[in-house]
Amino acid sequence: MSLTFACELAAEPLTALFADGTVIDRLRALDAGVSLGLLDLSPERAEVVRRLNAAGVPVIAWLLLPESEGYWCNADNGPRVVARYAAFQAWTADEALVWDGIGLDIEPDIALMEQLVKGAVHKIVPRLLPNLFDRERVLRAQAIYTTLVTQMHLDGYCVESYQFPFILDERRVGTTLLQRLLGIVDVAVDHEVVMLYSSMMGQAAPSILWSYGQDVATHGGGIGIGSTGGGVDLAVDFPPLTWSEFTRDLDLARQLTDDVFIFSLEGCVRRGFLDWLAKLEVPADVEAPQEAQVAMAPAVQTARRVFRGMLWVGAHPLQIAGMVMGSAALVWLLRRHPRRA
């Protein structure tokens, strides 16, 4: 099982996290890598990367933007991500850094995410509705990110993405409704991690992880579990996973994929999980999950089928309108000219 820990810290706490070498030793013991959020391109961050390079710990360059520019990669800030990558390349050359790959975090604009998690519907709807009718926006964004990924490949990098699970449902029905609505982008990369953070899912969390994880197992990729704390402040209190919940999710994920992404490194260190993981014995044999763990999986699968149906209907309003009008016309004709015995 391959473990990658996401780390999303500003320069000063990042330096403090790796100050005494203990965290690097734990990562080496676990044969784990780090996806390092590039909140800045500072000398302090470069020094941490050099220390990880020297220790043989693989490091993914997780590209991020200032919050004022959307923070994560989305349909509206592609040119800014391109510019950020160019700056990253110059910084990498100046600091003589080595990377195991590039990470693209595909999420809505951070300002929109804050409103979504707060449930500010009255602010969200006026902003989102025009997006439904702008199909070119998604196509433009896909072209920008596809070109960027090609350039990254030419520069010698493997590219991975971090995606919300519902992108898997949208692919199944071949629509772009969610992409248009939320500004997310479905772009082909070398390795995709599906973010299945159960701390945000409530009681059905293990079953949701298991349901979407089946798709990952079928098509390949990684499963992201968490959160153990950390990350951006969206002013919503999602409690971090307990050790029991964390090991449950880790066990479910490892049965579906060899690549597990853990959010976050700093949360694991703070809660003692990194030390406990080093002592955790992971069985070599894959066993089916206990039925009680994923008892709601059939209900989740049904809900996903309904969701996919809604996506299709929402993406094909003219076809639905035509079917309704055609049916209504047929009923009218039959009533006007009933068959005679």
- Kindly report, residue by residue over 184-237, the tens digit of the pLDDT: 999 999 999 999 999 888 888 999 999 999 999 999 999 999 999 998 877 666
Domain shared by 321 and 220, yes or no: no
Residue 90 three-state SS: helix
pTM flag (> 0.85): yes
Query: What letter would DSSP give residue 340?
Result: P
Which of 294, 310, 331 is at the close of a domain? 294
Please report the pLDDT score of residue 138 as a whole number: 93
What are the backbone dihedrals phi and psi of residue 195, each rounded to the nearest 5 degrees, phi first?
-80, 105
- Residue 335 pLDDT level (bands cut at 50, 70, 90): low
Specify the pLDDT at position 334. Answer: 47
Rounded average pLDDT over 64-69: 97
Query: Taking Cα atoms as reference points, which of 272, 314, 3 lies closest to residue 129?
Result: 314
Same domain, 131 and 222: yes
Q: Which range among 108-117, 138-147, 326-335 shows the weakest confidence by mean pLDDT?
A: 326-335
Same domain as 318, residue 286: no
Where is average pLDDT lowest: 51-60, 108-117, 161-170? 108-117
Alpha carbons 15 and 29: distance in angstroms, whole number? 20
**Predicted confidence band of residue 38 (pLDDT cuts 50, 70, 90):** very high
Task: Let me know whether 262 and 323 are in one domain.
Answer: no
User: Rounded mean pLDDT of 253-278?
Assistant: 95
Average pLDDT over residues 1-28: 96
Question: What pLDDT does 318 receive?
Answer: 47
Amino acid 120: pLDDT: 66
Are both 306 and 282 inside the same structural domain? Answer: no
Q: Are residues 44 and 60 in the same domain?
A: yes
pLDDT tens-digit readout, 266-311: 999 999 999 999 887 655 444 555 555 778 888 898 999 998 988 8
In this structure, the answer to whether residues 252 and 210 fall within a common structural domain is yes
Which residue in the block uniquely carries the two structure tokens 């710990």?
57
- Judgement on whether residues 60 and 166 belong to the same structural domain of the protein: yes
Quote the domain boundaries for residue 228: 2-294
Element (H, E) at 26: helix 22-30
What is the pLDDT averaged over residues 65-83? Answer: 97
| Mean predicted confidence (pLDDT) in 234-247 | 85
86: CATH: 3.20.20.80
- Looking at the structure, tell me whether residues 49 and 180 fall in a common domain: yes
The answer on 182 and 138 residing in a single domain is yes
Q: What is the pLDDT of residue 320?
A: 43
Does one domain contain both 31 and 142?
yes
Total domains, the chain: 2
Please, what is the average pLDDT of the chain?
A: 88
Tell me: the pLDDT tens digits for 94-140?
999 999 999 999 999 998 888 877 776 667 777 777 887 888 999 99
Alpha carbon of residue 275 to chain centroid: 26
Asked whether residue 225 falls in the same domain as residue 325, the answer is no
